[in-house]
């Protein structure tokens, strides 16, 4: 960074501590890993990092992450640090919506396909060595596919099944696999269920469910819990903020399945990273459940996406849920079995929303203030991509900073390969007065591709100004969508929202909510569910928007309870009055 008269105070011990935090205990969505460049649109000369349709599989005490068109998979010991593994062999083309599972000492892997394709297996996935378990699966009897497959092993029955489907016409299908014949098909595929958008508001297509195009159903995943079978699916479309996960429940692996009235069980329509459909539900090493999904970016292509992970579980009534409350704020990774997903929320609030920004340079309409607007589809572009370009965020008063997240954008990128030349390097500084600066975090020596890098500081830092300095980008432009700063202010949390009013429409899929504005609030979480103690769903909006929400995600014939909480830089209010809907 050019000094420009600014004094940089760089104490050696502080530099060493700030370089990285080996004791990281938190994570922040989207998942921080080296997203690969996607070549699906190579013929249109579009270059962008992307991944989608995640499957995280626990295996021998570790975790393996598989995703669409990534040229391999990732391995982690703690769900924080992910190592990319290039397999010894890979399918004829890269995998879309992979099916993966672990059974005893073996990992199995299968791809979405309409052709004859093999099942792979590995007893040492940490080495990348894959072998053929089944050279070519035969033609699928009944149904079209299998596209977006999942393979399920029922340990109690010692039987195998496949579920699949990706269409706005066809259903989710299920079929048994023959364990004695290399998991080939048994009988013909059976229809499990279709979409019903006329009864299920959240299954309607479009942003905020406002499009009349037929919705898409995809992303099957099966869990078994307390003798019940939970068949998960994604809808209504990956390219919208309302992409979500739903579930049907049955007493037998091939049904009949009953629609869960609390659907969608995973939903993230508001905030920074929106959408969470098409993923899987797994248990960590402590027995806690997590639900993965696919949030939406759509800067370079409508299907440019990332991956996220929410705390999930089954309540005492067997209701499957995933918590999207503060879903893109820092959360702790558990070290034991938790009782409530709220235990994992750090309480580190967003300090940077709409805070003023300055920069060393700007390009046209891509101004520095985009860095704090919490919109992944707007971004700052520097005048050059050279080292020393910087951007500064003024928090407007001293705050306690605990973590940072920088989200790069592939603006006019030209990378069509994944190798060691694709990496990002940067530094962060902080200052109390905007004149005297100290190093806060240094990733200038790391050769890693971290387009959504999350940095937990070794200790809290009281400061006002945060400065990003570019060291290296592999692309023609230095472009960043958001720099997000988390921590705590020194004031009081906002008071609870009052006068919540809920009006269920004649079309029961919709309801309008209004409430009184709370002085000093930065945003609101609108929470709802099928009982006053089941407010698992959450829609986050900002306080500079109207205090009203048209919610179009409800199920016909189902009653709901609603409440609103306010938050600011100092914390979260107590939950407001819980109100039952009225027609």
- What confidence tier does 21 reach under pLDDT thresholds 50, 70, 90? low
CATH topology of domain 7-21+349-488: Jelly Rolls (2.60.120)
List, edge to edge, every strand of the sheet that includes 55-59.
55-59, 62-66, 73-76, 83-85
* Model pLDDT for residues 498-554, shown as the tens digit of each residue: 999 999 999 999 999 999 999 999 999 999 999 999 999 999 999 999 999 999 999
pLDDT at 144: 84
pLDDT at 315: 97
Q: What is the pTM of this model?
A: 0.94
Positions of E strands within 116-227:
119-122, 131-134, 150-154, 159-164, 172-178, 184-193, 218-225
Is the predicted pLDDT of residue 8 greater than 80, yes or no? no
The architecture of the domain spanning 36-328 is 5 Propeller (2.115)
pLDDT at 6: 37
pLDDT at 211: 86
User: What number is the average pLDDT over the span 130-154?
Assistant: 92
pLDDT at 433: 97
- What confidence tier does 489 reach under pLDDT thresholds 50, 70, 90? very high
- What confidence tier does 22 reach under pLDDT thresholds 50, 70, 90? low
H or E stretch including 18?
A: helix 12-18
* Model pLDDT for residues 430-455, shown as the tens digit of each residue: 999 999 999 999 999 999 999 999 99
pLDDT at 1: 40
User: What number is the average pLDDT over the span 133-156?
Assistant: 92
User: What number is the average pLDDT over the span 229-235?
Assistant: 98
Phi, psi of 207 (to 5 degrees): -60, 130
- What confidence tier does 284 reach under pLDDT thresholds 50, 70, 90? very high
pLDDT at 92: 66
Distance between CA atoms of 261 and 555, rounded to whole angstroms? 7
CATH topology of domain 501-580: Immunoglobulin-like (2.60.40)
- Ordered by start, the domain boundaries in the chain are 7-21+349-488, 36-328, 501-580
Is the predicted pLDDT of residue 350 greater than 90, yes or no? yes
CB atoms within 10 A of CB 159: 15
9-23, 110-124, 548-562: the lowest-pLDDT one? 9-23
DSSP symbols for 208-260: GG---SPP-BEEEEEEEETTEEEEEEEES-TTSTT-EEEEEEESSTT---EE-
């Amino acid at each position: 960074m050019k000094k420009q008269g600014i004094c940089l105070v760089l104490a050696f011990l502080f530099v060493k501590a700030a370089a990285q935090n080996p004791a990281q205990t938190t994570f922040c969505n989207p998942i921080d890993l080296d997203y690969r460049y996607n070549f699906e649109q190579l013929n249109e000369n579009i270059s962008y990092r992307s991944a989608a349709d995640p499957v995280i599989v626990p295996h021998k005490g570790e975790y393996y992450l598989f995703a669409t068109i990534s040229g391999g998979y990732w391995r982690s010991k703690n769900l924080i640090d992910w190592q990319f593994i290039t397999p010894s062999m890979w399918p004829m083309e890269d995998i879309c919506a992979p099916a993966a599972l672990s059974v005893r000492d073996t990992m199995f892997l299968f791809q979405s396909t309409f052709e004859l394709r093999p099942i792979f297996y590995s007893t040492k996935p940490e080495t990348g060595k894959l072998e053929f378990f089944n050279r070519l699966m035969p033609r699928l009897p009944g149904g079209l596919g299998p596209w977006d497959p999942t393979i399920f092993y029922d340990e109690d029955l010692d039987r195998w099944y496949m579920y699949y489907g990706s269409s706005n016409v066809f259903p989710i299908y299920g079929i048994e696999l023959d364990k004695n014949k290399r998991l080939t098909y048994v009988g013909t595929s059976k229809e499990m269920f279709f979409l019903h958008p006329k009864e299920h508001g959240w299954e309607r297509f479009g942003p905020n469910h406002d499009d009349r195009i037929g919705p898409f159903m995809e992303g099957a995943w099966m869990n078994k819990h307390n003798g019940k079978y939970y068949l998960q699916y994604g809808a209504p479309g990956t390219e919208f903020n309302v992409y979500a996960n739903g579930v049907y429940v049955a007493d037998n692996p091939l049904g009949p399945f009953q629609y869960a009235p609390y659907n969608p069980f995973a939903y993230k329509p508001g905030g920074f990273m929106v959408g969470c459909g098409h993923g899987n539900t797994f248990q960590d090493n402590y027995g806690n459940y997590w639900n993965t999904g696919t949030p939406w970016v759509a800067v370079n292509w409508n299907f440019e996406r990332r991956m996220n992970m929410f705390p999930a579980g089954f309540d005492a009534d067997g209701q499957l849920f995933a918590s999207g409350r503060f879903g893109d704020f820092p959360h702790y990774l558990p070290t034991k079995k938790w009782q409530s997903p709220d235990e994992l929320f750090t309480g580190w609030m967003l300090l940077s929303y709409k805070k003023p920004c300055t920069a060393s340079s700007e390009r046209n309409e891509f101004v520095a203030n985009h860095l704090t607007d919490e919109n992944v589809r707007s971004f700052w572009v520097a005048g050059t991509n050279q080292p020393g370009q910087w951007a500064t965020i003024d928090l407007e008063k001293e705050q306690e900073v605990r973590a940072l997240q920088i989200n790069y954008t592939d603006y006019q990128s030209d990378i069509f390969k994944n190798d060691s030349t694709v990496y990002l390097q940067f530094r962060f500084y902080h200052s109390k007065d905007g004149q005297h600066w100290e190093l806060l975090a240094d990733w200038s020596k790391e050769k890693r591709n971290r387009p959504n890098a999350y940095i937990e500081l070794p200790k809290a830092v009281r400061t006002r100004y945060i400065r990003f300095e570019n060291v290296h980008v592999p692309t023609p432009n230095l472009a960043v969508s958001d720099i997000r700063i988390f921590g705590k202010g020194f004031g009081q949390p906002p008071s609870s929202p009052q006068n919540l009013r809920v009006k269920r429409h004649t079309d029961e899929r919709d309801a309008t909510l209004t409430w009184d504005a709370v002085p000093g609030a930065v945003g609101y979480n609108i929470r709802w569910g099928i009982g006053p103690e089941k407010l698992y769903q959450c829609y986050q909006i900002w306080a500079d928007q109207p205090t009203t929400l048209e919610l179009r995600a409800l199920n016909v014939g189902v009653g709901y309870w609603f409440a609103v909480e306010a938050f600011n830089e100092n914390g979260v209010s107590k939950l407001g009055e819980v109100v039952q809907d009225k027609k």
